[in-house]
Amino acid sequence: MIVVDTSVFLDELFKFDQKRHEKARIFFRLVQAGDILIVEPEIFKIELIGQLVRRMGKDEATILYESVVDKLELIKTEDLGGIAFTIAFETGSRAIDSFYIAASKIKNALLISNDKIQVESAKKFRVEAYYLLEEFEEVKKRIRNRV
């Protein structure tokens, strides 16, 4: 079981940067091949749709959004609020990041992100987190070992 930050999904869906896109693409292939469950805080849905409609028409964004969200397990915001507050208080992390870190903490799941600040905050809270862009080889090993 893993939690994947929206930044990784966006790097896979859009070619902002070829190297980032390739790492995200390989990462998701490994996750799929290993049949690893991706768990997300419910707020992921809002963050994802907001990013998609900035980059494409609403009809196309809706179809892509539904295809992504249908493959995930979501954790309700009310189940994460208390721990997310504690994470923000203890680490100074951004609000949205605190929800991803909280999801990882309560599910004892790896957090994978292309947001270095989020990963640093997670590690401060003793959550196993990886910055995919710099820890790609380690992430690949961890994913393969969980299979």
Domain at 140, CATH number? 3.40.50
Tell me whether residue 57 is in a domain: no
Tell me whether residue 130 is in a domain: yes
d(CA 101, CA 35) in angstroms, rounded, equals 22
102-123 per-position pLDDT tens digit: 999 999 999 999 999 999 999 9
In sequence order, the 6+-apart residues with CB closer than 8 A to the CB of 105 are 83, 87, 125, 127
Tell me whether residue 81 is in a domain: yes
Tell me whether residue 132 is in a domain: yes
- Global pTM reads 0.93
Mean pLDDT of 31-58: 96
Tell me whether residue 11 is in a domain: yes
Tell me whether residue 13 is in a domain: yes
| Total number of domains constituting the chain | 1
Tell me whether residue 100 is in a domain: yes
Domain extent for 29: 2-41+73-145
